Amino acid sequence: MQDNPDLKKNSENGGDKSGNNKKILMGILAFALISTFFMNFFMSAFSGGNMAEIEYSDFISLVEKDAVNAVEFESDRLIVYADASKTEIPKEISKIYNNGEVIFYTGIVGDLELVGTLKEHNVKFSRKVKNSSPVFDFFMSWIMPILFLYIAFSLIMHFAVKKLGGGGGIMGVGKSNAKVYMQKETGVTFKDVAGQGEAKESLQEIIDFLHNPDKYIKIGAKQPKGALLVGPPGTGKTLLAKAVAGEANVTFMSLSGSDFVEMFVGVGASRVRDLFKQASENAPCIIFIDEIDAIGKKRDGSANSNDEREQTLNQLLSEMDGFDSSKAIVILAATNRPDVLDKALLRPGRFDRRIIVEKPDLIGREDILKVHSKDVILGDDVDLKAIALATSGAAGADLANMVNEAALRAVRMGREKVLQEDLMEAVEVIIAGKEKKDRILSSKEKRIVAFHEVGHALASALQKNSQPVQKITIVPRTMGALGYTMQMPEEEKYLMTKDEIISEIVVLLAGRAAEEIVFDTVTTGASNDIERATKMGRSMVSQYGMSEKFDMMALESTENKYLDGRNVAICGENTVAALDEEVLKIIRECHQKAVSILKENRKALDEIAEYLYEKETITGEQFMDILKKVNGDEISQ
């Protein structure tokens, strides 16, 4: 006999809700119990008003002095009404009561002669009679407050949580926060998105389906329910989603994954239901969920898992299975962490397509620069291709920022057009920060930095597989650099050979080598160079298979490659130690090669460094002119 899947799903959902209701009820009961305890505690603590306790012997002494007016017998103590004028009032008493009396209390000690003593001194006495029983007192002190608080809190939770299933609740806490954009509000089309030709081609079919669903239905094709946009930050995933809505001329519903996550369990699931309900009412439309990894992480079932996030994810999976694709509803989502998403979310029938939105290539960067500079007045000398070459690895957001920085610089310089130098300076600002004019180096430090940077430049110029030098400067920058050597690639490259990586490591280590040769010492200025060189050498051995010792064995894998790209070892501890030794061997060999190159060209090192020391900044052309002048037409390799 087969199980009814719908019945099974309903029973599971019912079980979840039942479990949540039990948790809520237990929480209300605990709150009521704790509140009642503290209420009784404070009532008992302050029920005595300003009364002070006195010793029984002191009480008898007051009676014998005729200072006591009346005594009231209680079950566990005596209340004493004394004449304030005949009594020393303790510091604890801050108030004299009516008729000039002050009130004390003392314990009962079973004195059989007490009544006779009171009569002898004309003291009025009586016994306070309680009409209630201990059971009644317990009921009024504990049961009634607990019931009252339980009912009050239940009513609050009833309106704040129970009604969330209908998409409502106090202040609309269960409603979706989706911001609805019409095409006239987004104003974005594929013309505004450059450098992502493959992504646009993948999304074009979805747009065509939204425009002409009949031709797809006629042949039996089904519209993809969802598409996942994956790529590094700043590559234009959100912009692409808006462009799809603009091209299709349909409603665009946008919200972030974090909008679903709330304190109350069940709120996120309610918002998912409300979102899809709104989408059905506004079909055809596009639902865009940005940063979907906030709710779509893998469910590991551990005790530390987030019940609210998992219920929200379960509801999203259910809604994506349940809605009819013929209604022309498309779900787009964006993330830069696809490796943490739940597999159930990525299977066909939910997010049918994974669209990679990578950082743009050379042509893409040039197109992006054209898009972002169309409203900027450019000078005749502007060469966007040169800027694109200098910004390898930059995302669309980085390029937009560079164009804006260049425009701001042109205004600061009093110009009405943006020149090539503004764009190049903007590139340097993004890479190294602004010039730090208030940091003045001493003559000795300035000379060390000059030789350090020329060491980089010479190692780059004197090797076959290095990139040409564009600029050398020893002007400090706000991101910590005391100087830097800027290299400009001659063409876009997607692969690096082993020789090219070795040459790059030699260039990085040549700054420290110059310090050793000229000053016979080392400084802290090479810290970033050493870090980058070590990372490249480690990648050669652990990932690229460029080591004779380990051949083509993978020793590390990359996690979060669209974010920090952290490497994680996938080998044993002994192998990791051997890996470190192999990396050290590469670093030492490259270091020795850098020292050898600079010693052979010591005259060029000295002359160019002295020139840089005087000028502070020189171009790549000036650098090459001095080098050719010193070495002649034949540059030592």
What is the amino acid identity at position 395? A
CB of 138 closer than 8 Å to CB of 109? no
Backbone angles phi, psi at 508, to 5 degrees: -65, -35
Residue in 428, 453, 515, 582 annotated catalytic: 453
d(CA 589, CA 505): 10
Which helix (H) or strand (E) covers residue 83, if one does?
strand 77-83
**Burial (CB count within 10 angstroms: exposed 0-12, middle 13-18, buried 19+), residue 261:** middle
Q: Select from 529, 528, 527, 511 the least CA-distant residue to 597.
A: 511
Query: Where are the strands (E) in 258-340, listed by range?
Result: 285-290, 329-335
Known catalytic membership, residue 453: yes
DSSP class of 435: B
Residue 10 vs residues 18, 158, 167, 255, 268: alpha-carbon distances, Å: 12, 22, 19, 28, 19
DSSP class of 552: T
On the question of a cis peptide bond just before residue 213, with omega within 30 degrees of 0, the verdict is no
What is the amino acid identity at position 19? G
What is the amino acid identity at position 300? D
CB of 556 closer than 8 Å to CB of 568? yes
Strand, helix or coil for residue 357: coil
Tokens encoding 363: 């042509």
CB of 417 closer than 8 Å to CB of 377? yes
Interacting residues of 247 by C-beta distance below 8 A, sequence separation 6+: 189, 190, 204, 207
d(CA 386, CA 309): 47
What is the amino acid identity at position 124? K
Work out whether strand 124-127 and strand 68-73 pair parallel, antiparallel, or are unpaired.
Answer: parallel
Strand, helix or coil for residue 27: helix
80 strand-pairing partners? 71, 104
DSSP states of 42-57 as a string? Answer: HHHHHTTTT-EE--HH
Q: Name the strands in the sheet holding 617-619, side by side, starting at the edge strand that comes first in the sequence.
A: 484-487, 469-473, 617-619
Q: Name the strands in the sheet holding 124-127, side by side, starting at the edge strand that comes first in the sequence.
A: 52-53, 101-107, 77-83, 68-73, 124-127
Separation of CA 81 from chain center:
68
Active site residues: 453
